[in-house]
Structure 1
């Protein structure tokens, strides 16, 4: 079984999240504290694992990928009659007063741990652990750079969903300050990313060891700077009515479109990342026929000679390796006796699996996020990404011939194919989850079998962002060429369409709609659906007063004694 990258590191959590004064005079029984930690490579491995661990959220609605997909115009609420929370989020209602509190709590856990690394590692001397002073300094720079990136990552997660949040950038900063503005929050994010880029080594991706897969690096920080620039300038211009084309920095400076395009150009030209030869090889369904040894399992994949590139970086285990994936959330397995339950399994794949249908190669799930059929019918059949992204239920060539309808709500006949339960017969015997077989895990429970990485950033997005920022077609047409499509002239409409088709169901569509100011028009439709066997109408209810933001956790509003105000419309 693969190593779990984002470990829960108890010792790190204990002394980076703070404690009361009554503990200050107690004896340290474990020999580690803010004064003695961050002094060895092992310390740093544990500390940075604690930062990455904060990506995981116990409440599924606080999971960024799940929340963003439910909010998207291309996915419906779905589920069964009891899955009311999915329908409420999808309909821009708040299921609970603390729907997104786990996102808040975990993000600030990660920020606190990153702050400790940034401050304490600057004082550390790693020279005795490396052959040269240069190697020691490079190691140190990488640790600080990763912490800077992750602090930016967590603040970006918060500001996208909740708007401006309190900025805590040092261990001793007060924890009860007011919310900073959206602009101030983005200025801190941009400054952290800029410094992370300047701090981390310029090691090309193929030379980065596979043991570091899942960790941030200079190229990931450059890519995220592009995403942050586009979201901030778009949001302020189209949602706040404050037109801008620059990204502010915390010191009062700013980054222009040209500045950010330069970072993306460096990433494109020097990172070593490349597009996979076939878009469909990025997704686990393309591995099924090889692993099962049965070309009848998914005839469409076999006929197209699909071959999964894997998800362990540039390891040659699968084909030529995965040079496209840049930054991911890693997942593993679980057991019901574990305290974390199933938090470290990919619940997006579980929840968006086909409800109460166990087919080969597609396993069952909870039926959330069925696909808007308008996307299927408007998508050119000549684009291989259409069938590479959407599962047409009832289609035997797609492995869904055994589909039984009327098991859930908001049924449209389509589900996403990128993040879905994948299974096949093990050596011709019992049907087991694909990742269960790959990593020899014992518990075959369908709820615990999802170890597929969630891809936060891939190289195709870097190319599309570069085209959008520069107003040129090169990056966009490079993505189209991979899909076998002819080049087109650049226009924002063409770019929007390309992002929809290339990045569908990857948790980006909602944020694109918001930053483009297209969010109101995108939800102006009505669909015919089936709700547990009954014909019904579906019509989303986006409300302009929320300005693309979700409700601030009510518990935090109450605990602040009036310091925090609830977001408009909630």
Structure 2
């Protein structure tokens, strides 16, 4: 049974009522008696982390999903009626509140983090000061992470840093990023200077906070043309500060690169690796076999075999279900890859650019399925309705099948490894890794304009060293981190988004299994990107209504904006 630290969501009922005796409530948890103990603190943290799974129940309403489809390396895909997938790709609107589940989920997470930050010092019984500081630092990190996603996704959003009920307008980008940077700095200073192995798997560490600080710094300074990150308390975070933190992370975290790039991905699991022609006889061992901790993973959404229909569906990896090859066809046609809803077909331009730049890069075939050559029996069209299908699919977050002892094919290796139900909608358990060490190496090279760590990443892929240049680091990030949710913010902060997005028009694809080309819809990708002031998505109209107009809609959305998506044809 796969361990998961987010299994239980903390249900808190806080009341402000006091009876005439002012007695302590012994029958339920409220602000008079919670939190008091270390166990209470652990429950508060579990509730914060659980928010990652809350937004996974339908991943279409999430930053990772939208960033994947909005980038230039993946199209929307799905069936004709999966218009939200296509709308995210096209930077268009499917309905006025299409992203409300994500908005409300993240603000729930922020409220839980605020609660922990305000009350964790009330707890007693700590083993030592490091234990208290670790938990408090985690709460600061998670609040920063939630706001970083919201600021990347929506631009300006309300900044809520207390549990007091408030109706707030949008905060400016400077205010948001000052809070994010201050929270991360606090997390770095609070969490102990110990190897990641000293912290329970699934929890963030000081090293995770140092890595996220670098990612935030690169986006904020690049996208907003700044030189430093502001801090709420005054002063700022400089490039030199970020580099020092990255070097601290690299030298002291205990994280290391997995030996072979392919061992990061679930198709090298022990039940599949020998039956997959690409990995057979390659002596590969998946880094997450039998609940092993991936030494390269620094922050991940964790999944388990506890998923069921309803509120717990998010405990299975619904991203992999959505990103699976579309269509109900025999698993023999797609082995070792399972099936799903068909979101995110790969833009052929990525494959072609990669071949031209690095024809011997093992990461290309390790990351992308070349359908005609690798799965020649795959039937296009997926339930006869697929949109924007291509000859390429990503391998990193696609379901992976395995042979049962009787020769039949289970819908996931998790059926054999973790005892999950053989159900394609519930049995994907691979973690979504949000930050890994290779990203830290590449961020260090970009910030220092040096090639040492970039070439360590290349060396793992069997490639020769190269000199540092902006063009080279852009390529390395595209190859190494393909389909991992980073490309969208990378092209935005580098200022290349309008051109690379517009280049998606006129690309060969398939519509319902027949040849087609990608189209200019809503004025085209570049026009939509510019209309939305750099790719910010719409604030849910329901939230604007609930605020009595305190919130205002982002540019490029709403009535008369030309943002409404009505379908592919």
Same fold (TM over 0.5): yes
Matched, 1:561 2:560: no
Query: Does the 8 A contact of 1:331 with 1:451 survive in 2?
Result: yes
Aligned 1:25-36 pairs, distance under 5 A:
28=25, 30-36=27-33
The aligned residue for residue 188 of structure 1 is 179
The aligned residue for residue 92 of structure 1 is 91
Matched, 1:482 2:460: yes
| Cα offsets for 1:29-48 (capped at 9, x unmatched) | 63322232232222122110
The aligned residue for residue 337 of structure 2 is 362
| Matches of 1:206 and 1:312, distance apart in 2 | 17
Matched, 1:235 2:214: no
Q: Tell me: CA distance 1:64–1:428, structure 2 relative to 1, closer, same or farther (3 Å).
A: farther
The aligned residue for residue 120 of structure 1 is 119
| Matches of 1:22 and 1:438, distance apart in 2 | 52
Matched residue SS, 1:536: strand
| Matches of 2:485 and 2:34, distance apart in 1 | 36
Cα deviation for residue 344 of structure 1 reads: 2.1
The aligned residue for residue 224 of structure 1 is 212
| Matches of 1:516 and 1:311, distance apart in 2 | 37
| Matches of 1:22 and 1:531, distance apart in 2 | 64
| Matches of 2:307 and 2:284, distance apart in 1 | 32
Aligned 1:244-323 pairs, distance under 5 A:
244-287=226-269, 290-292=270-272, 295=274, 297-310=275-288, 315=292, 322-323=294-295
Matched residue SS, 1:301: coil
Tell me which stretches of 4 or more aligned residues in structure 1 moved more than 4 Å: 19-29
The aligned residue for residue 133 of structure 1 is none
TM-score normalised by L of structure 2: 0.90
The aligned residue for residue 319 of structure 2 is 348
The aligned residue for residue 81 of structure 2 is 82
| Matches of 2:64 and 2:19, distance apart in 1 | 38
TM-score normalised by L of structure 1: 0.89
The aligned residue for residue 301 of structure 2 is 329
Q: 1:153 aligns with which of 145, 158, 164?
A: 145
Q: Tell me: CA distance 1:108–1:183, structure 2 relative to 1, closer, same or farther (3 Å).
A: same
Query: Does the 8 A contact of 1:311 with 1:453 survive in 2?
Result: no
| Cα offsets for 1:190-249 (capped at 9, x unmatched) | 0000010000111112343xxx11111100000000001011111102xxxxxx110010
The aligned residue for residue 435 of structure 1 is 414
Matched residue SS, 2:299: strand
Query: Does the 8 A contact of 2:458 with 2:465 survive in 1?
Result: yes
Q: Tell me: CA distance 1:84–1:7, structure 2 relative to 1, closer, same or farther (3 Å).
A: same
| Matches of 1:146 and 1:298, distance apart in 2 | 40
Cα deviation for residue 22 of structure 1 reads: 11
Matched residue SS, 1:415: strand
| Matches of 2:45 and 2:340, distance apart in 1 | 33
Cα deviation for residue 89 of structure 1 reads: 1.5
Query: Does the 8 A contact of 1:117 with 1:144 survive in 2?
Result: yes
Cα deviation for residue 418 of structure 1 reads: 0.2
Matched residue SS, 1:302: coil
| Cα offsets for 1:279-312 (capped at 9, x unmatched) | 110000012xx325x83x2111114332211178
Q: Tell me: CA distance 1:334–1:206, structure 2 relative to 1, closer, same or farther (3 Å).
A: closer
Aligned length: 534
Matched residue SS, 2:122: coil
| Matches of 2:192 and 2:236, distance apart in 1 | 23
Q: Cα RMSD (Å) of the superposition?
A: 2.2
Matched, 1:516 2:488: no
| Cα offsets for 1:541-563 (capped at 9, x unmatched) | 32112122100111111111121
Q: Tell me: CA distance 1:438–1:183, structure 2 relative to 1, closer, same or farther (3 Å).
A: same
The aligned residue for residue 50 of structure 1 is 47
Q: 2:351 aligns with which of 335, 357, 376?
A: 376
Matched residue SS, 2:435: strand
Q: Tell me: CA distance 1:311–1:286, structure 2 relative to 1, closer, same or farther (3 Å).
A: closer
Q: Tell me: CA distance 1:405–1:255, structure 2 relative to 1, closer, same or farther (3 Å).
A: same
Matched residue SS, 1:60: coil
Cα deviation for residue 171 of structure 1 reads: 2.3
Query: Does the 8 A contact of 2:74 with 2:345 survive in 1?
Result: yes
Query: Does the 8 A contact of 1:38 with 1:44 survive in 2?
Result: yes
Matched residue SS, 1:455: strand
Q: Tell me: CA distance 1:91–1:566, structure 2 relative to 1, closer, same or farther (3 Å).
A: same
Q: 1:339 aligns with which of 305, 310, 313?
A: 310
Matched residue SS, 2:112: helix
Query: Does the 8 A contact of 2:337 with 2:399 survive in 1?
Result: yes
Matched, 1:466 2:441: no
Q: Tell me: CA distance 1:28–1:95, structure 2 relative to 1, closer, same or farther (3 Å).
A: farther
Query: Does the 8 A contact of 1:103 with 1:158 survive in 2?
Result: no
Aligned 1:491-510 pairs, distance under 5 A:
491-510=469-488
The aligned residue for residue 561 of structure 2 is none
Query: Does the 8 A contact of 2:345 with 2:394 survive in 1?
Result: yes
Q: 1:530 aligns with which of 510, 518, 521?
A: 510
